[in-house]
Homo-oligomer: A and B are copies of this chain.
Amino acid sequence: MTQTLEPTTGTEPSAARTRVETWLADFEAALAARDVDRAAGLFATTSFWRDLIAFTWNFTTVENRDGVADLARQTRESTGATNSRITEGEEPEEADGVVTAWFRFETAVGRGSGLLRLNDEGAWTFLTTLDELKGHEENQGTNRPRGVEHGAQKDRVTWRERRTAELEGFGRDREPYVVVIGGGQGGIALGARLRQLGVDHVVVDRHARPGDQWRSRYKSLCLHDPVWYDHLPYLPFPRNWPVFAPKDKIGDWLEMYTRVMEVNYWGSTTAKSATWDDAKKEWTVTVDRDGEEVVLHPKQLVFALGVSGKPNIPSIPGQDVFAGEQHHSSQHPGPDAYKDKRVVVIGSNNSAFDICGALWEIGADVTMVQRSSTHIVKSDSLMEIGLGGLYSEQAVEAGVTTHKADTIFASLPYRIMHEFQIPLYQQMAERDKDFYQRLEESGFRHDWGADGSGLFMKYLRRGSGYYIDVGAADLVADGKIPVKHGQVTELTETGVKLANGEELPADLVVYATGYGSMNGLAADIVGDEIADRVGKVWGLGSDTTKDPGPWEGEQRNMWKPTQQEGLWFHGGNLHQSRYYSLYLALQLKARAEGIPTPVYGLQEVHHTS
């Protein structure tokens, strides 16, 4: 709108604009000439090209001129850029010697966009994303569907009849092209994308209703990320949505969203097995739908089971002797039944804190067992310092739309992301130093991540090892929830015994001991052979705790082709579910339409779990 008014009317283009236009034109020309060295020479000595399916049909980050040359060489026959230009209404900006510019381009099959940062030597970071496929644009705005068909038609089929026939027909008179296993926010967001792209799909989940994944968790659970970070595609939360939504409210939203976005969703449905027919290039997926066995034959199978795999339940001598109740945190029903009971929670990350806090609130006698150090940040500090620049009311008012924020985030290469993160966490340490001092004095073992880069890098590297404090950490710091240290060596009939010999009496033991890799969950359905072929899911190969090297450049197996044809992983927090679901959906759509999708740099597998 007003941003499209030309702010520079009557003035000369800025030097920054000229540099960017020249760079884009040179790059486009180099690709067109298949001149790999010239293309690579446009990059700085230290540089990163991150491509989300625009040139590579993969999620790929190549580094430095060598990496660029390799990418350009291997993809030069299949693609190139045309019509590269600075995005309308977005003036390139120069700061600290770096010019930042939003741009658009086309490939042979689609339209893309990206974010370029130029330093003195050339491109320092270069993000390219494919945003839509030509001829398969989404129906939005002026292209929105018409809805009812006007005019009289004999034997009209209504919207409701059509929806019912579609939803109930899979496995009977039609096949979905994609089956998505897991109907949390990830599966739902992907389903919405697939609906928009016109890809036949069905999302299956063992819970009865969308949102039950949230509703069934412990009652004090809320989102730990603020609303601006959490929007789903197409239908953002309204302006009156709370900053930190309670779990039941998110559950309601997901249920509504699924219905309104016409996601094909089968609740009360458990995937039993999936086998790949390499001749037919097709899966045979057997599900139990509310007691009925249904067999589906999709070409593509997506696991969208969250960041977590199977619950890790440690094997401890005496578990068969313990007379009380014991369960994994994922099975914890909430505090209500445990007022005045003695509870030992093993673990000291997010789930452990949430469960301890809720138990303390209801009047349980709760003890936390810390086995290794934990990174804690205050929710407010994380929101203001960690996310505020991109995801906040102020950012929205400054014109940073959700998609723009997502793209800026995506444009920071994983290799150097910690460098941007470290100073933020130094700020948080300073801001909350009183809290950290109290926490330390209480005996709790706290860390800031392997390199001081804090929570988000821990999340990307290992998906664990932290707590976003919404209150329970103060209970620990204040000694209201006692913390014991060390490994649990034994369960007795009446409690928990620690390595130092101390015994903690317990009516309930909660194993807040985390989860395995997602391919472990998939193994139950696709079998160990395929799960091992695909390998570990999540992590960057940062060679830090629980994220062994070598360096991967992208998150392992997430949203991109795997070593098993037709098998994909989707998940992550609401931000990742929102942003990356587009690129996963476009990969599926391209395959559904028979558009060639030559994959550059298919990941190698270094770890099976």
Q: Knowing A243-B145, A260-B253 touch, does A152 contact B360 (C-beta < 8 A)?
A: yes
Give the nearest-CB partner of A242 in chain B: B147
* Cβ-defined contact, B243 with A144, below 8 A: yes
Q: Report B-chain residues with C-beta under 8 Å of the C-beta of A475.
A: 152
* Cβ-defined contact, A154 with B196, below 8 A: no
Top 10 A-B pairs ranked by shortest CB distance? A147-B242, A256-B256, A159-B246, A148-B222, A147-B244, A140-B239, A160-B248, A151-B471, A235-B238, A145-B242
A and B contact pairs by CB, cutoff 8 A, 15 listed: A1-B398, A140-B239, A140-B240, A141-B239, A141-B393, A145-B242, A148-B222, A148-B244, A148-B246, A150-B471, A152-B357, A152-B472, A158-B248, A159-B246, A256-B256
List residues of chain A with CB under 8 Å of any chain B CB: 1-3, 5, 138-142, 144-148, 150-156, 158-161, 163, 196, 219-220, 222-223, 227, 234-235, 238-246, 248-249, 252-253, 255-256, 259-261, 357-358, 360-363, 379-380, 393, 397-399, 470-472, 474-475, 480
Query: Which one of B153, B160, B399 contacts A2 once the chains associate, using CB atoms below 8 Å?
Result: B399
Query: Which one of B3, B153, B363 contacts A361 once the chains associate, using CB atoms below 8 Å?
Result: B153
* Cβ-defined contact, B399 with A1, below 8 A: yes
Q: Report B-chain residues with C-beta under 8 Å of the C-beta of A138.
A: 240
Query: Which one of B147, B154, B241, B243 contacts A363 once the chains associate, using CB atoms below 8 Å?
Result: B154
Query: Can you tell how many copies of this chain the complex includes?
Result: 2
Give the nearest-CB partner of A139 in chain B: B240
Q: Knowing A155-B361, A256-B260 touch, does A146 contact B242 (C-beta < 8 A)?
A: yes
Give the nearest-CB partner of A245 in chain B: B147
CA distance A266 to B401 in the complex (A): 37
Q: Report B-chain residues with C-beta under 8 Å of the C-beta of A159.
A: 246, 248-249
CA distance A121 to B579 in the complex (A): 56
* Cβ-defined contact, B160 with A243, below 8 A: no
| Extra contacts besides A148-B245, A196-B240 (16): CB < 8 Å | A1-B399, A144-B393, A146-B244, A147-B222, A150-B380, A152-B357, A152-B360, A159-B248, A160-B219, A161-B219, A163-B248, A235-B238, A238-B261, A240-B261, A253-B260, A255-B256
Q: Knowing A1-B397, A234-B238, A393-B141 touch, does A158 contact B246 (C-beta < 8 A)?
A: yes
* Cβ-defined contact, B220 with A144, below 8 A: no
Q: Knowing A146-B243, A240-B234, A242-B147 touch, does A220 contact B361 (C-beta < 8 A)?
A: no
Whole-angstrom distance between the Cβ of A90 and the nearest chain B Cβ: 11
Whole-angstrom distance between the Cβ of A508 and the nearest chain B Cβ: 19
CA distance A555 to B471 in the complex (A): 53
Q: Report B-chain residues with C-beta under 8 Å of the C-beta of A148.
A: 220, 222, 242, 244-246, 470
